[in-house]
Structure 1
Amino acid sequence: MRAIGKRLWMATLAAVLALAAAGCGSPASNGAGQGDANSGEPIVIKFSHVTTPDSPKGQAAEKFKELAEQKTNGRVKVEVFPSGQLYGDKEELEALQAGNVQMIAPSVTKLVGLNPAFQIVDMPFLFNSREAVLKFWDGELGQKLMKSLEPHGILGLAMWENGFKQFTNSKRPLKRPEDFKGLKFRTQAGKVLEAQFKALGAGAATIPFNETYVALQQGTVDGQENTFNNIDTQRYAEVQKYLTVSNHGRLDYVVLVNKSFWEGLPEDIRKALEEALKEATEFERQLAYELDQKSFENLKKAGMEVYELTEEDKEAFRKALEPVYAEFADVIGKEFIDGARALK
């Protein structure tokens, strides 16, 4: 009886241990409570961004969701959170690194703290054309910049377009560098932008985007720089008389993903998501360009006085802005600056 009892006790213990081992070996969550490729649950991608659902970025995020779910036959579920519903500009990068979201699409300049070379989009009169911008980001130099984020647990997957920046102001036409003297401009935070206006003899004030209209209306600042679409949708034509088509800087986004999450995906799913993102990127870029051009027409109809810089004008600006290049060549990297300048 004792032998039988001992054998029964050992068999019971073995069963308990087996169950415990099975529990430890159950499919693991891949970072944010989403399903596993081997389980019946779909893999969930939380895509957080701060613009509205109807913006080019918002529409492209929804397009990516549609394509990703379609191309993976429902094995992936994309949850899009627009308008800063989950995280604002300041928090979303940390949330991505922590794995609380899997994808974000911040402005390029939000990455300057991780790599100062991302200030390249602020360098004045650097890119010769929209085509040059796309070639830069899709080519070797842009990909090198993207890869520089990997030590921070982030992968850069694509550039989504916003557009070229233009100058507006309420005082006078801005045709030559000397026309900027004594004026004060609203700007985003950034040392390159401060240096840009300083070299032109103008002042700069960092003012939040959502407070810019009032600052222009009240005369806190005389002007600002932005894309046609932002100038249009923010109704700056109501408080700004002069528009200079300068194409002097860029406002664009980078689609980022959590590195460990992305590399932990099954290869076939990752490939399907890459295809979905490629198509969503083409959709976003075309939409952003079309909306920007439509907004340019809207601004002319709104009665803004428009001046388009000639090549001679641009050369005068480049000469006036040489101190900015001297100051930031080593910070951003001569390789990136010379490479971008050479593209047509």
Structure 2
Amino acid sequence: MRLFKPALTALSAAILMASTAVMADPITIKFSHVVAENTPKGQMGKKFQELVAERLGDQVAVELYPSSQLYGDDKVLEAMLLGDVQLAAPSLSKFQKYTDQLQVFDLPFLFKDIEAVERFQSSETGQSLLTALEPKGLVGLGYLHNGMKQLSASSPLTVPDDADGKKFRIMTSDVLEAQFDALDAVSLKKPFSEVFILLQTKAIDGQENTYSNIYSQKFFEVQPYITESNHGVLDYMVVSSARFWNGLPEEVRGEVKSALDEAIAYGNELSQAKNLEAKQAIIDSGQSEIITLDDAQRQQWVDAMKPVWGEFADDIGQDIIDAAQDANR
């Protein structure tokens, strides 16, 4: 029996190692975001989860935390740098504390439509902005559309003077604050998760958002007027921490990135359809009137807000603003 002991020991070790490999915990990717599951971002997250499961099986587990279940956009990047979250897609406004360059996306009336936004983001300049966060330990992995922003309020907003003195919730963004300053309005930086209550209790008079968010968050139920201004873009950057992303095994990272690219493309395809569906659902509800601006009225809004560009040209870079303008052509 002693002759077989080394062989048995080796065999046992091999079985133990194989069992340990099988039982090893999967790599967990916690994806935290603030919107509902039926939004373009929410659907992108589900698609990403499905694709990773198909391609990587038990190696990687994607966990989804929508509707600020884990963190709001104001805290998620800090949590990411601490390793508590591995993936997030905050609105582009949320990156101001990490880089000034992404403020270009907050400039009012810079992009004529979402197609122009797409052209800019796909351009050399737009792609280079994905790397702007690297000195802060974050990796930009792609852009995700939500859509063009509209203005909602407790009273009609037809010309800029209608906003005078009214309180609007904004994301944490100096550009958006300046945008409402230009209207002689009051801007309040509040988390997305608090907006409905603020509107319902009339602590604020209005807010800016896409149709899909206005509908999915039920803002239209407590805002009788929505002005179709298309004055800005609400998009997201999908990000991870450099430590987590670069620490993934190369083959796993390649598969995860491929799944993420496909999921982002899927979410972007959904965004326009979702906004159109949401707009129609709001109209059908009869709870909020959508105000359409004529050319003269719209030009008044442009004239009132466009001076904000000059205030931030040095911070953002005039070359970046010029490249964004070129995308309109």
Q: TM-score, normalised by structure 1?
A: 0.80
- Which residue number in structure 1 is paired with residue 80 of structure 2? 96
State whether residues 73 and 191 of structure 2, in contact with CA within 8 Å, keep that contact through their aligned partners in structure 1.
no
Q: Is residue 2:205 matched to residue 1:222?
A: yes
CA 1:330–1:290: 2 relative to 1, 3 Å: same
Paired amino acid for 1:72: L
Q: Is residue 2:50 matched to residue 1:66?
A: yes
CA 1:265–1:185: 2 relative to 1, 3 Å: closer
Q: Is residue 2:61 matched to residue 1:77?
A: yes
Q: Name which of 112, 116, 123 aligns with 1:128.
A: 112
State whether residues 223 and 240 of structure 1, in contact with CA within 8 Å, keep that contact through their aligned partners in structure 2.
yes
- Which residue number in structure 2 is paired with residue 265 of structure 1? 248
Query: How far off is 1:107 after superposition?
Result: 1.9
CA 1:163–1:83: 2 relative to 1, 3 Å: same
Q: Name which of 178, 195, 200 aligns with 2:161.
A: 178
CA 1:102–1:202: 2 relative to 1, 3 Å: closer
Paired amino acid for 1:332: I
1:185-214 CA deviation, whole Å, 9 max, x = no partner? 232332212211221232223344344334
1:197-245 CA deviation, whole Å, 9 max, x = no partner? 2212322233443443343344433322111122223333333332211
Query: Aligned partners of 2:123, 2:81: CA distance in 1, in Å?
Result: 25
Query: How far off is 1:73 after superposition?
Result: 4.9
Query: Aligned partners of 1:80, 1:297: CA distance in 2, in Å?
Result: 28
Query: Aligned partners of 1:221, 1:99: CA distance in 2, in Å?
Result: 35
Say which SS state the counterpart of residue 72 (structure 1) adopts.
helix
- Which residue number in structure 1 is paired with residue 327 of structure 2? 343
- Which residue number in structure 2 is paired with residue 305 of structure 1? 289
CA 1:56–1:185: 2 relative to 1, 3 Å: same
Bigger drift between 331-340 and 264-273 goes to: 264-273
Paired amino acid for 1:144: S
Query: Aligned partners of 2:89, 2:230: CA distance in 1, in Å?
Result: 23
Query: Aligned partners of 2:259, 2:194: CA distance in 1, in Å?
Result: 36
How many correspondences in the alignment?
Answer: 309
Query: Aligned partners of 1:263, 1:287: CA distance in 2, in Å?
Result: 30
Give the gaps of 5 or more residues in structure 1: 1-25, 27-34
State whether residues 113 and 148 of structure 2, in contact with CA within 8 Å, keep that contact through their aligned partners in structure 1.
no
Query: Aligned partners of 2:246, 2:198: CA distance in 1, in Å?
Result: 45
Q: TM-score, normalised by structure 2?
A: 0.83
CA 1:258–1:238: 2 relative to 1, 3 Å: closer
1:241-297 CA deviation, whole Å, 9 max, x = no partner? 322111111222211122233223343332222221111011111223222111111
Say which SS state the counterpart of residue 47 (structure 1) adopts.
strand
Q: Name which of 148, 152, 160 aligns with 2:144.
A: 160
State whether residues 125 and 314 of structure 1, in contact with CA within 8 Å, keep that contact through their aligned partners in structure 2.
no
Say which SS state the counterpart of residue 157 (structure 1) adopts.
strand
Query: Aligned partners of 1:52, 1:230: CA distance in 2, in Å?
Result: 8
CA 1:96–1:327: 2 relative to 1, 3 Å: same
Bigger drift between 118-127 and 183-192 goes to: 183-192
Query: Aligned partners of 2:72, 2:199: CA distance in 1, in Å?
Result: 24
Query: Aligned partners of 1:48, 1:214: CA distance in 2, in Å?
Result: 22
- Which residue number in structure 1 is paired with residue 233 of structure 2? 250
Say which SS state the counterpart of residue 269 (structure 1) adopts.
helix
Query: Aligned partners of 1:302, 1:220: CA distance in 2, in Å?
Result: 24
Bigger drift between 203-212 and 250-259 goes to: 203-212
Give the gaps of 5 or more residues in structure 2: 1-16
Say which SS state the counterpart of residue 100 (structure 1) adopts.
coil
CA 1:176–1:210: 2 relative to 1, 3 Å: same
State whether residues 128 and 341 of structure 1, in contact with CA within 8 Å, keep that contact through their aligned partners in structure 2.
no
Structure of greater Rg: 1
Say which SS state the counterpart of residue 91 (structure 1) adopts.
helix
1:65-118 CA deviation, whole Å, 9 max, x = no partner? 221232235433323333444444333212222333322222222211000222
- Which residue number in structure 1 is paired with residue 14 of structure 2? none
